[in-house]
A and B are shown apart, each in its own frame.
Chain A
Amino acid sequence: MMMVPREEYWRWSEASWADPDKHWKDARVVTLGIDVGSVSSEAVVCLDGELYAFNTVRTAAGSVESARNAMKGVFERTGLRFDDIHYVVGTGYGRVNLPFAHKAITEIACHGRGANYMGGPSVRTILDMGGQDCKAIRVDERGKVTNFLMNDKCAAGTGRGMEVIADLLEVPIEELGPRSFDIDEEPPPVSDVCVVFAKSEAMARLKDGWSKNKVIAAYCRAMAERVAALLQRVGVEPDFFITGGISKNIGVVRRIEEIIGVKALPTPYDTQIAGALGAALFAHALYLKAQGKPQAA
């Protein structure tokens, strides 16, 4: 039996936005940040170091194609052309292959910078959890990374692990969070960390008579404990900021907050653009530097 492509729940929807109060023709410096991730790709435009527009698309087969798709949406929305852009920074796993980027910067550094913009200078600890990785980042008041780790080896502790369990239980992924609280008492976490073995454990629990909600709670708890351990390796200091798909799963977020004893900062921003936004902000600083106008990079 071949695996058939199926709908992935653990994803951000494609989105596009531009600030109606700004116009790029009024800006002195226009910069572009592109984040080519394993699941989605984002393009963000900054005007003089302020967020102006973004577009996000599903990652295509190639990095260059994905970056072009992301850029295209932002250009269509704003009327910008590539030639109007002063500086381009690429980030994400596909960053090294972008021929039109002036520079490639790691997603860790870009995420730190982007979260600093969205959460403000008080943000010290950032958790980013997407479909295929999990990052724990500590930053200073300027968004410079002081401590980080990234886990993209193991599916447990990523959105993908959650998808596997949602699939097994035949529960839509967006229902996992609320359903994980619809239980009589918090069960112990699933003991198997490995997603493959956790599946067997989940089936054994169902056979023991556990409700689906109880299994979901046990899995959310296990995932929260794993993520909290990663956060504790870099050290948790408030304010705490969460980006990526995980922020949508309150079942995991609430449990992480409970374990580390710190609440996540609320934000009005669409945090999926953190990496691309950081890249566009780096691009701004790098452009000014290249022009001989020193500014903190």
Chain B
Amino acid sequence: MAFRISRTGLLFALIGLAGLALPFVQFKPNRIVPGEGLRLFDALSLPLGWMIGLVLGAVLIAGCLERWPARLRLTVALLSVIAVTLALGAAATQLTPPDNTLARVSPSSGFWLLLLAFALMLADAQSRITLGLPIRLAMLIGAMVLIAVILGSGVLDGVSVMREYAARSDLFAREAAGHLVLAFGSLGLALLIGLPLGVAIYESPAMRRPVLGILNILQTIPSLALFGIMIPIFGWIAANIPGAAQAGVAGIGLFPALVALFLYSLLPVVSNTLTGLIGVNPATREAAAGLGMTRPQILVQVLIPLALPVLLAAIRIVLVQNIGLAVIAGLIGGGGFGTFVFQGLNQTAMDLVLLGALPTIALALVAGIALDLLVEATGGAPKGGQA
């Protein structure tokens, strides 16, 4: 019986086997000094490390064979991702001497490559089976629950990032809330202003060029500068305009960051509102007018529902973009996960950088996938491949 070699499988195997050969974790006497790299086989106690390593290696090599049903590959890849994660937790627990609060065990290149190999395998298997919307939604929720269970169970508590988290769990909750307020608050503001603005330039085509032109230029200002410019502007407003400070306007903290993100969000919202409205079949509009509907009625009951997929696509763009850009707020004292990222960069404490970067990435991924599903559910084309 001749086996065909799957070339995607070969790629994943190469990445994964490199991961097995490279240091799985870094053991550091404290959080700042560079550490000593340990491979998976050496990082775990004797039988366990070899067992996990050999099983993962076998999965990678078996993955090169063509004869796997995609669903089986999906399951195996998922189990392997979990195994790699749990191995990291176990390595951290075993390597950290008891009563030593200074030593840190951080994930190293081997861990990341193994995770990448199995995540790619997972993505590849998933892209080869067509799953219905409800199942994909269930998978998204399932993945989130799984992550929550693993984090909550404490198996990863020995890992450096979780040690950083344990040292500042209150602060983490506050910055997480801040990040969400920044991302969703700016989105809400952008919808509040952007939707009517989009409708307005749809009604009066002469305004389209100037409005979109200004929003386009706004988009080209580098985020760092826009955040910076907001500080003196709102500082001045808060100091000189009576009532502004009472209304919450301030030159420091969350407020300037929120406004900067709002300004960046306007272009996608306004231009997609316009695109969505223009895309509605003129015959539909005339039919509605023929039924005796007034202009506002046509807008609310006919045009906006039909433009909904395009509007949701704008919300996806804005939300993913703002979750990422909100990191920069950390640089101007606006809170959010960026606080940890830039604190970590300043202290060259990379675990702290991870504590800020990983939740940001997770948040952006979940938001992107969830909104892709929503766009699809309302009948639009998803932004990318399947979630």
A binds B: no
